[in-house]
Chains A and B, each alone.
Chain A
Amino acid sequence: MAKYNLKINGKTQQVDVDPSTPMLWVLRDHLNMVGTKFGCGMAQCGACTVHLDGNAVRSCSLPVSVVGKGAITTIEGLSADATHPIQKAWLEHDVAQCGYCQSGQIMSATALLKNNPKPTDADIDAAMSGNICRCGTYLRIKEAIKSVASPLTPNGGKK
């Protein structure tokens, strides 16, 4: 066991866990933050996606020991009341079916838009192909991403 001071959603939280423990289980079992989901445990499905210093990472395959001073953002850190633009877009497009994959999808999408505010279809495919949606909501996910990414026209409206 070892103590870690983790920066999660802007707050420092201390946990005492085995160094090999993946961030996914630190969040879910030790910090009671269950928005981040377990889907495969081997970086294949994206359900566990969080941000480490703004980049999308699979928390199931990220041992707590390598996080260090890195800033973790989880779905709970976007907003608790669904006011983040991506969350709003997700609601606007009524994306979810079962909803289980969606926090991972949202975290991948947020990281994409942060690093690439105007992604092309191919950019979106590339960034989102690590996230499986068993219910098949891919079209809506893409539409939701595009609605946030739409460049503003000079008069301020969406294109």
Chain B
Amino acid sequence: MTDQLPLLRVEGVMKEFGLRRTASERVARSAAEAHRAVDDVSFALRRGEILGLAGESGSGKTTLARCIVRLIEPDAGVIELDGVDVRAASGPELRELRRRMQMVFQDPYASLNPRMTVATALLEVGRVHRRPGAENGEQFVRDALERVHLGPGIATRRPRELSGGQRQRVAIARALAAGPEVLIADEPVSALDVSVQAQLLNLFGDLRDELGVAILFVAHQLAVIAEIADRVAVMNRGRLVEVGETAAVFGNPQDEYTKALLAAHPHIRLSRVAS
């Protein structure tokens, strides 16, 4: 029965930002127009699936991701994790929901304290969420690092003593240390060289296979989504314009915006842009 229910259900979510008035609006004393960054977005994330969220910069991907974990409050809509109303939750209930939905950011510094060693950062998460094993520090850290294919030698380092790829692995390890069912990864590989990006994509695939964690994988590079996601949702100006199996959407896009994005995507095949 629970298998039929999506793990995460998002329905009609909306978020507006008030814009600063432009000079001419100030002169005319007119009100600034509200800007709808996320506009009536609905989708479901199934258990153990990787759902890609694509779209150009400014299309609302980050705002949507942050609304889901309530890093920002949506203005309207329903968000349910496993049948629990995320928007109505508060106190310990909200903390527990946030444990179950962890975020990974493009810039790993966003989740890693530069002054903390890797071990301290991982243990902190384990203790805050009272994870089993967190009382036995060393083993907990070793297991957490092993999950992201890092050796225990890294435990005593600080973020700046790591390469970009290692730093992102530690950020993922930190998210996993909370024992989440959902990872919301906002452009987690976008700042990395392709050589490192490939290895992190493999890691995300492994985490899904081995831990059964469902992943909302935000990326503006369509080819990345093509290789990691089971399904893809395409956003344009705050709206979801197309959702479907990755192969179907990329092979036979229905929406004009999706078609334009795919057409502009640079191929490594030897094709030239028209000049």
Question: A and B from one assembly?
Answer: no
Give A contacts to B, CB under 8 Å: none
